[in-house]
Amino acid sequence: MPRVVELLLLLVILTSFIVLGTTRLSACIRAVAVQGLLLGLLPLALYPGGSLHIWGLAGGTVLLKGVILPRFLRWAIREAAVRREVEPRVGFALSLLVGVVAVAAAFAISRILPLPERERAMLVPVALATVIIGLFVLTTRSKAVLQVVGYLILENGVYLFGLTHVERVPFLVEVGVLLDVFVAVFIMGIVVFHINREFDSLDSTRLTELTD
Amino acid sequence: MLLLALIAVPALAAVIAYARRTPQWRATWLIVGALLHLALVTVAWVVPPLPLFKGWLALDSLGLIVLTTVSALFAVVGFYAVGYLRRESPRGGRAFASYLLAFLAAASLVAVSHHFAVLWVGLEATTLAVAPLIYHRHDRRSLEAVWKYLVISSVGIALALLGVFFLATAQAGAPSARPLVLEDLITDAARLQPAWLKAAFIFLLVGFGTKMGLAPMHTWKPDTYGEAPSLVGGLMAGALTSCAFLGLARITQVAVAADIAPFVQPLLLGFGLLSLVVAAAFLVGQTDLKRLLAYSSVEHMGLLAIGLGLGGVGAYGAVLHMINNAFVKGLLFLAVGNVLLPARDGTPPGVSGVLHRAPVSGFLLLIGLFAVTGSPPFGPFLSEFAILSAAFHGGHYWIAATVLGLLAVIFVSLGARVLGAVYGAAAPTGARESAWLAAAPVVLALVVLGLGVFIPRPLFQALAAAAGTLGGWAP
């Protein structure tokens, strides 16, 4: 189902762009949730009539990236009563431009790199673009919750790249990805909660006491 | 089975320590776990354990050296923790000992894994086990430290995972091999796709370099080491960095086997030299003792990268320097921890004239100062000498000159601050040292001195074998 795969990958990029271009935190979280669902569908589309392994991977991804983590983030912004990103270090229009450049660069790089299999060739550039966008969101947004969103997008990019190896490299890699997202974000979430209590805000730019 | 026991024993001890309600028992389990682990490591030196799970877990010379270093340092820190827990009760109480033991289990997994994904999982686990230990005081400063630590090292570890996937892609051309298993990567090195292997090396260097604290990915280090309890700082600077170094050494082994050394060496040398420059720049005028140690750690990680990059005797020097660095950092952090302990009535300690108030710790700080700056007769002198001589023999005179110059700057800055703290005008505030607290760093000082005087035959053989896999040789 190469057509479906391409459509899904296109939607993945689209959801990343929504995060780049919106001020409302809840919209960003919704976009990341949709992206998680898309990532869960991808293994099924890539390996039609997949094994138990593929179904397990898909189910786990949908549950974790599509449901649990977004719910957790939504809880965090409700607790902290934050609605929108006030002053990103890079404006929204410029952010979208960076996103476009990232996608173009990722496709350009992927043309140079020797790709193992043609039919999954789209995966690699989309994965790289997602990684770049995630890093960008992580470094340019000031709200701690949005930084977690950026981290999730970065992880999603790594996951996308990992999908090229589902058959060849055993289960462990996927467990690694899921474990990483779950535990790291879970702990980050707890810390976000404490930041909120200590500083009365989820603004990590106010974490500036430790300097040289 | 021995390999599994090395991971299971500390993990089990962590669970038991958590289940125990009385504080005395928690400390006991910490020590029992540490000593059992050390005993198992000793067995591994005598009877080399067989590989497990299709070679995913195995113990070679390099892994054994890292494992022994971590285990020995942990045992000493475990005894120190007994004294520490009597003085201070870090928040989270019973979880404190558990997280320490969980860290030991994760570090053991890193040392025995010969599969890059397992290695990655182990490193990730060490990150997570340490995070709650930093956030022990629950105030703004430690919160800021733990946030920086989590965000920066999570990004680093995510990029490292991408590097692992790149490595798997590079190996796709050699389908008969076991994916991502170190031995097969080395055997089939000639069939690895060079472009993907190079990309994998860059991402793993950045990822593991973040965990090591190589500049410019070191920014979490001063804040984290500055805020963490000193024994946690000692474990991070000694054991955690050694695990990350092992990760970097593993991918270097593959790179050496695949003959892409001309691509890899400038990268390692560049990051290493930059770390030395950054450390020298930020050490000048630094007053906080723990932040001082953090920048010193950046310096020594830089030296490790330079040693790996130079190859030859430098590879031997790097592995030996990893051992020395672990024990010296442990020594310094524990001694500084003694100095910084508040008095029983909570009066903050005065960091001046330490020799009057805590003579043992003051003396240990002096020893640590000379050891960490690479003065004879301590261990780091030998390993830094090996790295420098590799630079001379390889004809990299400007690298040798730069390193020597920066080491001199670092010596002066460290010396000025530490001597000021040790001598200085007497400040009567602060705690007196207890036997538990003083004994642990004394043991570490003896180890550092011993390594400078005499390297036992089995250790030398293991070092030579490890250097051999890194494209180097013993002097």
Q: In the prediction, which pLDDT does A163 show?
A: 84
Q: Is residue B169 part of a domain?
A: yes
Radius of gyration of chain B (CA): 21
Q: Is residue B273 part of a domain?
A: yes
End-to-end CA distance of chain B: 35
What lies within 8 Å, CB to CB, of B250 at 6+ separation is B116, B119, B182
Of B143, B157, B162, which is closest to A194 when you measure between CB atoms? Answer: B143
Inter-chain touch A114–B128, beta carbons under 8 Å: no
Residue B173 in any domain: the answer is yes
Contacts of A202 in chain B (CB under 8 A): none
Whole-model pTM over 0.80: yes
Contact B158 A158 (CB under 8 A): yes
Contact A164, A123 (CB under 8 A): yes
Which residues of chain B make contact with A204, given a CB cutoff of 8 A? 147
Are A34 and A147 in contact by the 8 Å Cβ rule? The answer is no
What values do phi and psi take at B187, rounded to 5?
Answer: -65, -45
Chain A nearest-CA distance from B451, in A, is 34
Q: What is the ipTM of this complex?
A: 0.88
CA distance B60 to B50: 10
In a domain, B434, yes or no: yes
Query: H-type helices in A81-212, by residue range?
Result: 92-112, 123-140, 144-162, 172-199
Helix, strand, or coil (residue A209) = coil
Res. A46: pLDDT tops 90:
no
Q: How confident is the model at residue A133 (pLDDT cuts 50, 70, 90)?
A: very high
pLDDT at A5: 86
Model confidence at A185, pLDDT cuts 50, 70, 90, reads low
Q: Which long-range contacts (CB under 8 A, 24 or more apart) does A86-92 make?
A: A86/A142, A87/A142, A88/A140, A88/A141, A88/A142, A89/A140, A89/A141, A89/A142, A90/A140, A92/A20, A92/A21, A92/A22, A92/A23
Q: Looking at the complex, does the CB of residue B118 fall below 8 Å from at least one CB of chain A? A: yes
Q: How far is Cα B467 from Cα B461, in angstroms, rounded to an integer? A: 10
Per CB-CB distance under 8 Å, the chain A contacts of B128 are 183-184, 187
Amino acid sitting at position B293: L
Cβ–Cβ contact B177 with A under 8 A: no
The tens digit of pLDDT for each residue in A80-116 reads 666 665 567 778 888 899 999 999 999 888 888 777 6
Q: State which amino acid sits at residue B368.
A: G
Kindly identify which residue of chain B lies nearest to residue A194, measuring between CA atoms.
B143
Structural domain span for residue B157 = 2-469
CB proximity B158 to A under 8 Å: yes
Residue A84: Cβ within 10 Å count: 12
pLDDT given at position A108: 87
Task: Tell me what pLDDT residue B359 has.
Answer: 83
Which pLDDT score, from 0 to 100, does residue B205 have? 96
B222 reaches A (C-beta below 8 A): yes
Which candidate, A96, A102, A98, places its Cα nearest to that of A125? A102
**pLDDT given for residue B89 in this prediction:** 66
In angstroms, the CA B385 to CA B403 distance is 11
How many angstroms away from the CA of A149 is the closest CA of chain B?
A: 12
Q: Phi/psi at B353 (nearest 5 deg)?
A: 60, 40
Q: Considering its fold, how many domains does chain B have in total?
A: 1
Residues of chain B with pLDDT under 70: 23, 89-94, 137-138, 176, 342-350, 426-432
Answer whether B187's CB lies under 8 Å from A202's CB.
no
Domain annotation covers residue B439: yes
The two tokens of residue A155 are: 């992880």
Residue B462, phi then psi, degrees to nearest 5: -65, -40
Cβ-based neighbours of A209, under 8 Å, separated by 6 or more: B140, B141, B144
Measured in whole angstroms, the distance separating CA B23 from the mean position of its chain's CA atoms is 28
Q: Which positions ≥6 away from B238 have C-beta within 8 Å?
A: B69, B70, B73, B325, B326, B327, B329, B330, B333
The residues with which B440 forms a beta bridge, in sequence order, are none
Query: Would you list the domain boundaries of chain A?
Result: 2-206
